[in-house]
Amino acid sequence: MDKTLVTGANGLVGCAIRKLDLPNFEYVTHEDVDLTDFEKTKYIFETIKPTRVIHLAAVVGGIGGNIMHSGEYFRSNVMINTNVLECSRICGVKKLISFMSTCVFPDQCSYPLNEKDIHNGPPHPSNFGYAYAKRMLEVQSSAYRKEWNCNYIVAIPTNIYGPNDNWSLEDGHVMPSLIHRCFIAKKHKLDLTVWGSGKPLREFVFSVDIAKLAVWALDNYNEDSPIIFSSGVEISIKELVEIVTAEMKFKGKIIFDSSKPDGQFRKPSDTTKFKKYCPDFEFTSIERGVKETVNWFESNYPNVRI
């Protein structure tokens, strides 16, 4: 029977995979092992002896974190990915899935973003370090497939959100930062300040959906080329603010702070390949996902990751 190792198991998707309660899955977190260290990574692989790997571990952040820490995000992610893929290879892992993000796509690109376009130009400047590090996952997986016949596949999810996120106000992604900001504004009867103009568009996807799709891909997807996981539904940041404030019953004033970055205006993804493979997959609606995420945050605050 296969043994599946999940890296980054305390993160957003890692926690969602744990909840699926699948047999013969083992989980490692950054507290168990420093994956930037090759020898420590190798030790974990030699001890656990996985036959399959879901590689989720990464140093990530929202637009603020990416702008502030582009060097750190590049360095750590290149080291983590290089070590995990190399240790998988030398320890005989049969199948590995890793994750990029739609921010890997070129800033100047025809829409919708298609899997074949990831290397056709530089990424948006706000994601420079992280996006190039993530692109190398696809390069390494493909090179390993060519030389050593490794069945390593790569998925490209859109903006993931859900319970167990990082709720940092400065470094987090928009969904957790916004929920946290709204919570504070409501509690202290303050205005709610939202970064940017509210006009950029994003495709949000619930972590539980990505957890299910990670397992599906591990079982069923074997192409060298990546696969985008997306509902194809775009909403503006302003619409997201309306959904979050309605769910949190925030009645105060909302201010859009244009001194903060908007980032890429939109990154709509091509769902053709995904729909060919999974025509019947039902994504969680944004209203339902936000409800579950807000409930989780309010029940766990202040013991949340920041």
Q: Establish if 103 lies at the interface with ligand GFB (CB under 6 A).
A: yes
Do the Cβ atoms of 244 and 294 come closer than 8 Å? yes
Strands 254-257 and 192-195: parallel
Catalytic status, residue 111: no
Strands 25-28 and 151-157: unpaired
Site for ligand GFB in 228-257 (CB under 6 A): 237
Whole-angstrom distance, CA of residue 173 vs CA of residue 72: 17
Applying CB under 6 A, the site for ligand GFB has a residue count of 27
Whole-angstrom distance, CA of residue 275 vs CA of residue 285: 17
- Residue of 130, 144, 161, 221 with catalytic role: 130
Binds ligand GFB (CB under 6 A): choice among 15, 174, 214, 227: 174
Q: Establish if 162 lies at the interface with ligand GFB (CB under 6 A).
A: no
Site for ligand GFB in 109-148 (CB under 6 A): 126-127, 130
Q: Quick one: how far is CA 7 from the chain centroid? A: 13
Binds ligand GFB (CB under 6 A): choice among 202, 215, 218, 274: 202
Site for ligand GFB in 49-88 (CB under 6 A): 62-64, 66
Binds ligand GFB (CB under 6 A): choice among 76, 77, 88, 101: 101
Strands 235-236 and 201-202: antiparallel
Binding range to ligand GFB, per CB under 6 A, among 16-24, 80-88, 146-154, 175-183: 175-183
What is the nearest approach in angstroms of ligand GFB to the Cβ of residue 196? 3
Do the Cβ atoms of 67 and 124 come closer than 8 Å? no
The residue type at 210: I
**Cis ω for the linkage preceding 125 (within 30 of 0):** no
Whole-angstrom distance, CA of residue 141 vs CA of residue 148: 10
Q: Establish if 195 lies at the interface with ligand GFB (CB under 6 A).
A: yes
Binds ligand GFB (CB under 6 A): choice among 50, 163, 263, 289: 263
User: Nearer to ligand GFB by C-beta: 20 or 68?
Assistant: 68
- Signed CA dihedral, 104, 109, 111, 114: sign only: negative
Paired with 193 in beta bridges are 255
- Judged by the rule CB under 6 A, the positions of this chain that interact with ligand GFB are 62-64, 66, 101, 103, 126-127, 130, 159, 172-174, 177-178, 181, 194-196, 200, 202, 237, 260-264
User: Which residues have a catalytic role annotated?
Assistant: 130
